[in-house]
Amino acid sequence: MATSSRTKEIIRKHGFTFKKSLGQNFLIDLSVLDRIIDAAGLDETKGALEVGPGIGSLTEQLAQAAGKVTAVEIDRRLIPILGDVLSPYPHVSVVHSDILKTDLKKLWEEQFSGFAKVSVVANLPYYVTTPIIMKLLEEQLPIENIVVMVQKEVAERMAAKPGGKEYGSLSIAVQYYCEPELVCIVPGKAFIPPPNVDSAVIKLRRRTEPAVAVSDEAKFFRVVQTAFTQRRKTLSNNLSALSGKERKGELGELLQSCGVQPERRAETLSLDEFARVTEALEAHGM
Ligand code: SAM
């Protein structure tokens, strides 16, 4: 049980010291752990991949809810602690690895064969939240949903709708693959040591098909990235990096033909509009 006193006891017993550089803020609030587990909707027919188990608080709860749990932890010092804490659960495996350098397709074959539904559940290290989420989304893994604790403002960016300052390339990438739902806001005091910022649990339900149909996904994301290069600039100014300055007039007409005013800013465009613009640029060799 992830109470403050048990966490402190485990830390003292093993002489563990926190590494800020690895984003080590351990969750000590049981009600938050319950919210995470509920949101993941696990049962014994499903698997769970945890990124960064720490001393295993969330892992223990996952072990009680899922048929198979695999936890990937970068910090070698935590491996014997996890071995100790998780010894009652034979269906839990701990892998000592950096999630960003892990071959996830291979890990899936080794760990989750026989599990059609797998959730990714984690209290993510904040210094690498976005690269981890992007890796999970882009590698086309059979993930049912992702339930993660992240910095509150990152959760808001993931779930943002067009028109506000939170909406950007992260919102579009996440919403292209998933339907986001904010589960709860979590104050710093739910962790030891407490982080300086509020956190939030967000659930990303993987879509069966991407939110919009595009002929070239890489091109779609290139267009989105380019459109947001300088947020205060107009769409046609930013996208002229793709068309070339000499074809800027043509670019303006092309945007109009997609029903998008060239003076608009990227933050006002829906995924659908970005998809239309991508197809038009592609068709005109831009
Ligand atoms: N799950 C635990 C909890 O909720 O109390 C710990 C969460 S803590 C915010 C993040 C964990 O991720 C730490 O255990 C840290 O060592 C681990 N970590 C950091 N970077 C990692 C990486 N690249 N790959 C795998 N684990 C990582």
C-alpha 50 to ligand 1 mean position (Å):
9
Cβ atoms of residues 35 and 29 within 8 Å: no
C-alpha 126 to ligand 1 mean position (Å):
9
Helices within 94-168 (DSSP H only): 104-112, 129-138, 152-159
pLDDT under 50: residue ranges of the chain? none
Q: Which atom of ligand 1 is nearest to the CA of 125?
A: 10
Task: Tell me how crowded residue 47 is: count the other CB atoms within 10 A of its CB.
Answer: 26
User: Is residue 104 in contact with ligand 1, taking CB distance under 6 Å?
Assistant: no
CB neighbour list of residue 231: distance below 8 Å, 6 or more residues apart: 165, 168, 265, 266, 267
Whether ipTM exceeds 0.90: yes
Mutate which of 19, 73, 199 to test ligand 1's pocket (most atoms within 8 Å of Cβ)?
A: 73
User: Is residue 281 in contact with ligand 1, taking CB distance under 6 Å?
Assistant: no
252 is in an annotated binding site: no
98 is in an annotated binding site: yes
Give the model's pLDDT for residue 252.
Answer: 96
- Taking CA atoms only, the protein residue closest to ligand 1 atom 21 is 74
Using CA atoms, how far apart are residues 126 and 117, in angstroms rounded to an integer?
26
Q: Which atom of ligand 1 is nearest to the CA of 122?
A: 1
User: Is residue 28 in contact with ligand 1, taking CB distance under 6 Å?
Assistant: no
C-alpha 23 to ligand 1 mean position (Å):
6
Coil, strand or helix at 3: coil
Give the model's pLDDT for residue 3.
Answer: 82
- Taking CA atoms only, the protein residue closest to ligand 1 atom 5 is 26
Cβ atoms of residues 81 and 56 within 8 Å: yes
User: Is residue 73 in contact with ligand 1, taking CB distance under 6 Å?
Assistant: yes
